[in-house]
Structure 1
Amino acid sequence: MIAVANYGSGRPVRIGADVWMKQLAALTGGPIVWVLAGTVLVVGVGIMVYERKQNIPLRPAYFAGILAESAVYAVLVAGLVSYLVAAVFAAAPSPQMAHDLWTQLALSIGAGLYEELVFRVILVGGLFLFFRWMFSSQTTAYVTAAIIGAAVFSLVHYAGALGDPFALDSFTFRFLFGLALNVLFLVRGFGVAAWTHALYDIYLTLGLFG
């Protein structure tokens, strides 16, 4: 979808987390695309080998269940977070559409997958492993990783030349939304967190929240 959106465009659209991953891969000094592709291939093959050894089957119905569950979470999380932010600041931040519908849908799905991979799997997962080593309580490790991860997730939206101007209400919204996604990731896994994020962005794009 990104390739189609960028076809013939003089100003290509990119997903922020995708750019960060490529910049990180560039530090290796090798071809970026091959580094990323090789990493995905190694991890993917490793997961497949592990699942085969554990006799974990692929059940297509589970994918539909994940989408349905995430669709509900997207509405509940957005409603709760919006209510809390509105109660504190007397107004909830309203996202602005900067692109056409097709591009916005591509960015919505991409943000859900890429940002959840970066912020939930790598950041929060890594923080949890670190704090589990530091603290005797696994609950303390979970809570600490979730809070720090949510703060970083919110702050990164204001970093760099293309970042948004900092505003306390939008920061709070993103922090609480990130915290909810962290809880979903730690309790329900990457798939549910990624699709909750993506479907929430799609709801906004389609104007389903009014």
Structure 2
Amino acid sequence: MSSLPAENSAFAAPSGLIDIGAGDYWDEARRPLASLLFLAPLLVGYEAAVISLSGTAGLRNGADAWMRGWLVGLGLQFPWVLPAIVSLTLLVWHWLKRDAAAFQVSTFLGMLGESLLFALVLILSGQALHSLMGEPIPTATIAQWRISPMQMRVISSVGAGLYEEFLFRLLLVPCLLAIALPVVRKATPAAVIAVAVSSIIFSAAHYLPADASAVSLVAYGEALESVWHQPTLWYGFLFRGLAGAAFGTLFVLRGFGVTVGSHAFYDVLVGFMASLTA
């Protein structure tokens, strides 16, 4: 089989999944090493907080709980294993891309600003969709405040931002892109397909039964069938799918770090707004 032209390969781009011709900050902020250094405080802070509050229920959920369950099944029950895998994944990606090792404080501040800006844009977009459809924002998108202090909400939101993006964007999107690229032979259409498919999977994951496997194609098929036969679930599925598409697009264009930051800020801000109106 002949190889793809370099300009059509998303993985040939020096700064991210797709090269948009950016340079300086815009290029550096998309690099795997920048993502790792930007997210290191979140990784360390989240894990330290959860370990110190190990008797508190509800902090680990969703993708975090799924992946830790898989690791426990492999005999890797230590809490540091999953964050180590996230860090190692980014380091390997950095090594494969042969990126420069530079990282500036201005890049960190820029990524922080971008994350907050995109989170606000996503909140406004969600409110616009809510007003247009006349439906409430799906409650599963806003993690329940099972613990009264607001700090617990922040911890849970950081965990969701980190590990949902790691599973559904950093791991899933490149796999789907690698499948689509040899078929369509152009980076942009392949990325659109990867983001669209990952968004459907991301949304369907919210409807998996509690005892279902998160890697079972049958379980996802049953979840989609369940949604199809219950019109009351259609809006929630659409909302989550669009959220997945937004985060997927951010991941492709702005990298993993900004995507995680945006997701975490989004969850925290939406939760804060919900607490004010409760």
After TM superposition, the score normalised by the length of structure 1 is: 0.82
Shift of 1:184: 0.4
Q: Partner amino acid for 2:119?
A: A
Shift of 1:6: 3.2
Residues 46 and 123 of structure 1: CA distance in aligned 2, closer, same or farther (over 3 Å): closer
- Between the aligned partners of 1:38 and 1:6, the Cα distance in structure 2 is 19
Q: Partner amino acid for 1:59?
A: Q
Residue 117 of structure 1 is aligned with which of 159, 166, 170?
166
Q: Equivalent residue for 1:142?
A: 191
- Between the aligned partners of 2:52 and 2:72, the Cα distance in structure 1 is 25
Name stretches of at least 5 consecutive residues in structure 1 with no aligned partner: none
Shift of 1:54: 4.3
- Between the aligned partners of 2:126 and 2:152, the Cα distance in structure 1 is 26
SS at match of 1:6: coil
Q: Partner amino acid for 1:131?
A: A
Q: Equivalent residue for 1:203?
A: 269
Q: Partner amino acid for 2:188?
A: T
Matched, 1:187 2:231: no
Q: Equivalent residue for 1:128?
A: 177
Q: Equivalent residue for 1:161?
A: 210
CA RMSD of aligned residues (A): 2.9
Q: Partner amino acid for 2:70?
A: L
Shift of 1:191: 0.5
Residues 127 and 31 of structure 1: CA distance in aligned 2, closer, same or farther (over 3 Å): same
- Between the aligned partners of 1:185 and 1:5, the Cα distance in structure 2 is 31
Residues 76 and 35 of structure 1: CA distance in aligned 2, closer, same or farther (over 3 Å): closer
Matched, 1:16 2:62: yes
After TM superposition, the score normalised by the length of structure 2 is: 0.64
Q: Partner amino acid for 1:25?
A: L
Residue 97 of structure 1 is aligned with which of 145, 152, 156?
145
Name stretches of at least 5 consecutive residues in structure 2 with no aligned partner: 1-48, 213-225, 228-232
Contact 1:78 1:177 in 2 (8 A): no
The alignment covers a number of residue pairs equal to 204
- Between the aligned partners of 2:58 and 2:121, the Cα distance in structure 1 is 34
Shift of 1:159: 1.2
Shift of 1:19: 1.7
Residues 204 and 58 of structure 1: CA distance in aligned 2, closer, same or farther (over 3 Å): same
Map 1:56-71; keep pairs closer than 5 Å.
56-71=101-116
Contact 2:123 2:270 in 1 (8 A): no
Residues 149 and 24 of structure 1: CA distance in aligned 2, closer, same or farther (over 3 Å): same
Higher relative contact order (CA 8 A, sep 6+): 2
SS at match of 1:207: helix
- Between the aligned partners of 2:253 and 2:119, the Cα distance in structure 1 is 15
- Between the aligned partners of 2:94 and 2:184, the Cα distance in structure 1 is 32
Shift of 1:75: 0.8
- Between the aligned partners of 1:91 and 1:30, the Cα distance in structure 2 is 44
